[in-house]
Amino acid sequence: MYVVKKNKQNKWIVIAEGNKRASKSFESKVEAIAYATKKSKDENTSFRVEDSLGSKSKKKLWIILAIILLIVLAVVLFLFATGKIKIQLPKEEVYTIEFEDNGHGVAPTEIKEVNTLPDPLPILENVEGWEFKGWYLDENFKTAAKPGDPISKDTKLYAKWEEIKSTVIETDELSIHFLELGNYYAGDSVYIKAGDIDILIDAGSRASSSTTIHNYIKDYCTDGKLEYVIATHAHEDHISGFVGTNSNPGIFDLYECEVIIDYAFKNTSSQISKNYESKRDNEVTLGAKHYTAKDCMEGTNGAASRFNLTDTINFEILNQKYYYEKSSDENNYSVCMMLNYGNNHFLFTGDLEKEGEESLVEKNDLPHCKVFKGGHHGSKTSSNEALLSKITPEVVCVCCCAGSSEYTDNVDNMFPTQDFINRVAKYTNRVYVTTLAKYEIAKNKNGNEYPKVNGFESMNGTIVVTLDSTGNVITTCTNNDTILKDTAWFNSSITLDGVERKMRIWPSDGK
Ligand SMILES: [Zn+2]
């Protein structure tokens, strides 16, 4: 057996296997093979050709290659780890969404460069007689489009519209009464007459107010029965009139209450809240149904979130997070209620504070409201922009004693506060206030002068709200119908420690 291979001098040699010395060497591989062919034929043997590199050299080469590869890999890993090189992922596909307005409103023509549905999705303005209900991924409105949904080049969004059924307004079918309470304390009591149904939201501000409330509502509620009673939260200025005193029987004593809806939590352990709950439970023993706002949301205990009053009027208990979790502020437990008369809405939020209002906005699709009961008696901590910008109220009714020093000797923070006025003024100048404080100049504990409340009179008096046949809000107050910014109190000046100031200022960007 001969072997044809290259030697160290780069010559082609033919060598008998096992020998150290070549038989012959050649300049070219062809010559060497020709020689080997002949020689092996003559000697009746065979030959083979070895590649230019031997198996040992091959092994070496592989090792060198592997080392180089490892070095390159290490360098790349180092550069990647130190951020000197970055991996460029292939770009996500971007598409243009097509919006179909379905004949109402004006849909955006397109939104460019998106790979998921935008957050938030555009909201179309309601157009005459039609209400925008949201975007859907199909023409039959089976699948609602959600922000962040993946899209493809075929994605098209369809606007769903619902025809607004116009309600024939019978002007005597609904009236809402924001009551004067017979003293200079802030407090709420709102009486609603819807057809034959009587509703009372809160009974403040003091136990003796029960007589004032009764003297007013007995002319409207002639059957001695309040179909619905709502106690928003456990503060005295909202519940004491339900209880009354020995000489002033409470609302629970004077009326049969069919359904009582109240707060899910309270922090206070006040005697008045215990008395309220004990009298409430007595009503239940006598046949009343009692639901907390949480029951209404969860449909437990036989409760529901919506109560139909007449063919066209209902009310809903609105959702907010403090029906389920504790707040350090009792006010945030307030039961929130929306009264609906066809497409006309009236909002009552008790003394709900900023965090509660934000939750209310988050958890409900709040509509434009004809009337809003000014949050927390016109406090600076309620009626915030987040809420007002949703409900854009036409009329705001404030249950308080204007300019009373009950909670503060800082004039700006007396109800209705300057901050409240600044925020509400953007939406309406139709602001009404039940009661007005009389005062004398006194000195506070720091020796500074302040207007100390020493009596009260009617401001607008009890504010009565109805709608005319076209849905305009009509106010007929028991004292006068002067809007807040035109009242004598609002425009009066007061001199404290020798400095004259305006009682209130209507902001320059106000209505
Ligand atoms: Zn209150």
Residue 330, pLDDT score: 97
41 and 101 in a common domain: no
Distance 233 CA to ligand 1 centre (A): 8
Contact present, 157 and 98 (Cβ < 8 Å): yes
From the CA of 209, how far away is ligand 1's center (Å)? 14
User: Which residue is listed with tokens 């009027």?
Assistant: 313
* Domain identity same for 258 and 373: yes
List of the chain residues with pLDDT < 70: 51-57, 86-92, 110-113, 165-167
> Which one-letter amino acid corresponds to residue 167?
T
Q: How far apart are CA 278 and CA 272, in angstroms?
A: 10
Q: How far is the CA of 498 from the centre of ligand 1 (A)?
A: 33
- Same domain, residue pair 64 and 141: no
* Residue 56 confidence (pLDDT): 64
Q: How many angstroms separate the alpha carbon of residue 500 from the centre of ligand 1?
A: 30
Residues 105 and 31 in one domain: no
- For helices 271-285 and 236-243, the axis angle rounded to 10 degrees is 50
Whether residue 273 is contained in a domain is answered as: yes
**What is the distance in A from the centroid of ligand 1 to the CA of 475?**
23
273 in the same domain as 379: yes
Distance (Å) from CA 118 to ligand 1 centroid: 41
Dihedral sign computed on CA atoms, order 65, 66, 71, 77: positive
Whether residue 272 sits in one domain with residue 342:
yes
CA 86 to centroid of ligand 1, rounded, Å: 61
Distance 38 CA to ligand 1 centre (A): 120
- Residues less than 5 Å from ion ligand 1, measured at CB: 237, 351
44 domain-assigned:
yes
Residue labelled with tokens 């590649």? 51
Nearest-CA neighbor of 128 among 387, 345, 343, 428? 343
| Cα 449 to middle of ligand 1, angstroms | 26
Token pair 């001969």 is at which residue? 2
Residues 248 and 396 in one domain: yes
Name the residue with tokens 């901050």: 419
What is the predicted pLDDT for the residue at 53? 56
Q: How far is the CA of 232 from the centre of ligand 1 (A)?
A: 9
Task: Find where tokens 């009950």 sit.
Answer: 406
Q: Does one domain contain both 44 and 127?
A: no
Cα 237 to ligand 1 centroid, rounded to whole Å: 5
Q: How far is the centre of ligand 1, averaged over its atoms, from the C-alpha of 226 (Å)?
A: 22
Residue pLDDT, tens place only, 119-133:
888 888 877 778 888
Nearest residue to 424 (alpha-carbon basis) of 350, 495, 369? 369
Could you tell me the distance, in angstroms and rounded to a whole number, from the CA of residue 327 to the centre of ligand 1? 16
Cis ω before 108 (30° cut-off from 0): no
Structural domain of residue 463, as residue ranges?
Answer: 174-502
Claim to verify: residue 16 and residue 128 sit in the same structural domain: no
pTM, two decimal places = 0.70
Cα(268)–Cα(510) distance, rounded to whole angstroms? 38
Is 277 in the same domain as 152? Answer: no
Distance in Å, CA 218 to ligand 1 centroid: 24
Among candidates 189, 235, 231, 228, which has minimal Cα distance to 210? Answer: 189
Query: Can you read off the two tokens belonging to residue 252?
Result: 């629970």
pLDDT in tens, 243-297: 989 899 999 999 999 999 999 999 999 999 999 999 999 999 999 999 999 999 9
> What distance in angstroms lies between residue 376's CA and the mean position of ligand 1's atoms?
6
Which of the listed residues 131, 163, 195 is the one where a domain comes to its end?
163
Span from the CA of 41 to the centroid of ligand 1 (angstroms): 121
| 511 assigned to some structural domain | no
Q: What is the structure's pLDDT at 231?
A: 98
How close is the Cα of 377 to the center of ligand 1, in Å? 6
Instruction: Report the separation in Å between the CA atom of 186 and the middle of ligand 1, taken as the mean of its atom positions.
Output: 6
How far away, in angstroms, is 289 Cα from ligand 1 center? 25
| CA of 18 relative to ligand 1 center, distance in Å | 113
Q: How far is the CA of 242 from the centre of ligand 1 (A)?
A: 15
Per-residue pLDDT tens digits for 375-404: 999 999 999 999 999 999 999 999 999 999
Strands (E), 222-335: 225-231, 256-262, 289-292, 306-308, 313-318
Spatial separation of the C-alpha atoms in residues 480 and 157, rounded to whole Å: 52
How far separated are the first and last CA of the chain, in Å rounded?
Answer: 113
Instruction: Report the separation in Å between the CA atom of 274 and the middle of ligand 1, taken as the mean of its atom positions.
Output: 17
Q: How far is the CA of 200 from the centre of ligand 1 (A)?
A: 15
Same domain (yes/no): 385, 268: yes
Contacts of 115 (CB under 8 A, 6+ apart): 92, 93, 94, 95, 150, 151
Q: Could you tell me which of 370, 350, 367 has the C-alpha nearest to residue 466?
A: 370
163 alpha carbon to ligand 1 midpoint, in Å? Answer: 39
- Residues 77 and 110 occupy one common structural domain: no
Ligand 1 centroid to 189 CA: how many Å? 10
Count how many domains the chain has.
3
pLDDT, position 87: 66
**Distance of CA 477 from the midpoint of ligand 1 (Å):** 21
CA of 447 to the centre of ligand 1 (A): 29
